[in-house]
Structure 1
Amino acid sequence: MDDFKNQKVLHKRYAFEIVLRIREILMALPSLVDINVPDGKHFTVCGDVHGQFFDLLNIFELNGLPSEENPYLFNGDFVDRGSFSVEVILTLFAFKCMFPSAIHLSRGNHESKSMNKIYGFEGEVRSKLSDKFVELFAEVFCYLPLAHVINEKIFVVHGGLFSTDGVKLSDIRAIDRFCEPPEEGLSFGGDVTKRFLKDNNLDLVVRSHEVKDEGYEIEHDGKLITVFSAPNYCDQMGNKGAFIRFEAPTMEPKIVTFSAVPHPDVKPMAYASNFLRMFN
């Protein structure tokens, strides 16, 4: 992490070892992962980081490094847009290799080939590692779990709930996730949230995916929290970042907000496709 901070790159050999090891770990996981937080212990959920490595370091500064005593869930969109995506993904993957139970990772819509081609990750991987890594990351992203349930009460997923009603946790467990995601998105109202929670005996939905001025937003009578952890998104949105800490047994959400920290002068989207840079 210190080397990354000083804009050094990791030798390809070690990057390979990390990515191949993470592939084994992720392949063995179910599509829906159950997390247990024992009484008296805490758990932190972060939203999109989007290649903002120096803000990721700031999260660890504020809330401690991931460890078995200080576990995290990063809820998708680790890469793209920010120009330190390789540093973000290798750091998160390395922690997961070291302490598999200290860090959990959900797939976001930017953990996909089509997004990575346009929004910078693919170009950054070619520049900092090699062409071979582009394919390797694309494969590994397909193995990321789709959702997590914490203490049988809190459902965490990147984008949100489903365009169809009546989805059960068992349906999510049964998804064969080893593929590129479909194109269509979804949106949902409070009625959908409440019905999903009731059907599955849950208390809260946490999702990410959307930038929020304060880094978070609470909706649907407190039953839905959006958390977004990339402050001053793309160096221009002026938003705060946030993360949520839950403490067992109550699992009441405590939201911590933070501001962006300085980073080296590499613009967001520096590695994006030329077509997109024209509009930036």
Structure 2
Amino acid sequence: MIQWFKDGKSLPKRYVWEILLGAHEQFVQEESLVTLNLEEGMTCDVIGDVHGQFYDLLHLYSLTGEPTHKHCLLMNGDLVDRGSWSVEVILTALAFKWLYPKFMYINRGNHETKEMNRTYGFEGEAKHKHGEQTYKLFAYLFTAMPLATLVCATQPPSGKTNNTILSPEGRKRYFVVHGGLFSKDGVTLDDVQKIERFGRQPGQEGLMCELLWTDPQELPGRGPSKRGVGIAFGPDVTQRWCEANGVTGVIRSHEVRQDGYAIEHNGLCTTVFSAPNYVDQAGNKGAFIRIDASGSQKYTQFDAKPHPPMKPMAYASGGLASLLM
């Protein structure tokens, strides 16, 4: 299938539907907050936004390796929109989910939503390549995607743990979510797990919206969002939330970082972004984060790869829109 895509061909519609229904069957068995325990010898690669950059995704997968019983992939939302191979990106990821449901994980991003897809290209691309009914099936599937993943080390931490926040069992664990934290204190992991997500769009407020839309800020406290949706949360907010929930750190995506990743909020909040040279003009590197069974992290950067002559947003309704989203 991947070679078929590289050759510029479209998958027959019946196979697209089989992949979508097969992946949906796996998503509906998962909680809104997935718990992923890294047993001894296992690793998990956390991948940020890829935004329809299929040829960069192939390069990325060559660096991470495919999912296996010793190696998980966790894609942290925004697989589609902007890049003009969003269908190929999402079908590849969903095929892995169908094949390896316990080793391939996908969080929903703010672009796995109808409103974003209408504006930033995925709706037009999906309809162009596979018809309106297929787009509706994609939109239906997006509402089944989990909203966050708790990646839990099962081995004791390696090295010093001074000031490191650990789980009640004394292990490291990371809250992986597309956007970030909340407009109020007191939200628990249990609250996230209980969110009713099926059939729902994130809307303009509430926990689901904030999980998908918020951003960190340098100043303490909370502030307005530059996006007009969600809020911005400061390092003190992150500290309190991690301490209250026994979380070693928040890993999120949602924003370009020139180095592909950035460690923020005194090490408690890390942004990872995996679309290098975003929309063919940002000049940034991509990155992914590898977590092992002791909770140690390793960061890998990579550069953009050439792609066929198709501009970003080729299927979008309103031309190239703001890069902030």
What letter matches 1:217 in structure 2?
A: A
User: Which of 276, 281, 297 is the equivalent residue of 1:231?
Assistant: 276
User: Which of 250, 254, 258 is the equivalent residue of 2:302?
Assistant: 258
Name the counterpart of 2:262.
Answer: 217
Q: Which moved more, 1:60-69 or 1:233-242?
A: 60-69
Q: Is the 8 A contact 1:215 1:242 kept in 2?
A: yes
Structure 2 distance, partners of 1:50, 1:279, is 14
- Give every structure 1 segment of 4 or more consecutive aligned residues whose post-TM-superposition deviation is greater than 4 Å: 277-280
Name the counterpart of 1:133.
Answer: 134
Q: What is the TM-score with the length of structure 2 in the denominator?
A: 0.83
Name the counterpart of 1:24.
Answer: 25
Structure 1 distance, partners of 2:98, 2:320, is 35
Deviation at 1:187, TM superposition (A): 1.2
What letter matches 1:162 in structure 2?
A: F
Deviation at 1:279, TM superposition (A): 8.7
What letter matches 1:235 in structure 2?
A: D
Structure 2 distance, partners of 1:165, 1:269, is 38
Structure 2 distance, partners of 1:197, 1:132, is 42
- Aligned pairs for 1:25-174 (under 5 A) are 25-151=26-152, 153-174=173-194
Name the counterpart of 1:276.
Answer: 319
Deviation at 1:69, TM superposition (A): 2.2
Q: Is the 8 A contact 2:120 2:321 kept in 1?
A: no
Q: Is the 8 A contact 1:160 1:186 kept in 2?
A: no
User: Where does structure 2 lack aligned partners over 5 or more consecutive residues?
Assistant: 153-166, 168-172, 205-228
What letter matches 2:278 in structure 1?
A: Y
Q: Is the 8 A contact 2:46 2:75 kept in 1?
A: yes
Structure 1 distance, partners of 2:27, 2:64, is 25
Deviation at 1:67, TM superposition (A): 2.2
What letter matches 1:206 in structure 2?
A: I
Q: Is the 8 A contact 2:41 2:70 kept in 1?
A: no
What letter matches 2:112 in structure 1?
A: E
Q: Is the 8 A contact 2:30 2:146 kept in 1?
A: yes
Residues matched between the structures, number? 278
Structure 2 distance, partners of 1:14, 1:114, is 26
Matched, 1:175 2:195: yes
What letter matches 2:101 in structure 1?
A: P
User: Where does structure 1 lack aligned partners over 5 or more consecutive residues?
Assistant: none
Deviation at 1:24, TM superposition (A): 1.5
- Aligned pairs for 1:188-227 (under 5 A) are 188-227=233-272
Deviation at 1:186, TM superposition (A): 2.0
Q: Which moved more, 1:144-153 or 1:98-107?
A: 144-153
Name the counterpart of 2:230.
Answer: 185
What letter matches 2:188 in structure 1?
A: K
Q: What is the TM-score with the length of structure 1 in the denominator?
A: 0.97
Structure 2 distance, partners of 1:112, 1:71, is 25
Structure 2 distance, partners of 1:135, 1:14, is 16
Aligned in 2, Cα 1:132/1:190: closer, same or farther, shift over 3 Å?
Answer: same
Q: Is the 8 A contact 1:218 1:226 kept in 2?
A: yes
- Residue by residue, what CA displacement relative to the aligned partner does 1:42-73 show, whole Å, maximum 9, x if unpaired? 11100000000111100111121122222110
What letter matches 1:137 in structure 2?
A: F
What letter matches 1:194 in structure 2?
A: Q
Deviation at 1:227, TM superposition (A): 0.1
Deviation at 1:10, TM superposition (A): 0.6
What letter matches 1:182 in structure 2?
A: G
- Residue by residue, what CA displacement relative to the aligned partner does 1:168-203 show, whole Å, maximum 9, x if unpaired? 001111111120011231210100111111000110
Name the counterpart of 1:240.
Answer: 285
Name the counterpart of 1:10.
Answer: 11
What letter matches 2:311 in structure 1?
A: K
- Residue by residue, what CA displacement relative to the aligned partner does 1:15-38 show, whole Å, maximum 9, x if unpaired? 010111112211121100000101
Q: Name the SS of the counterpart of 1:276 in structure 2.
A: coil
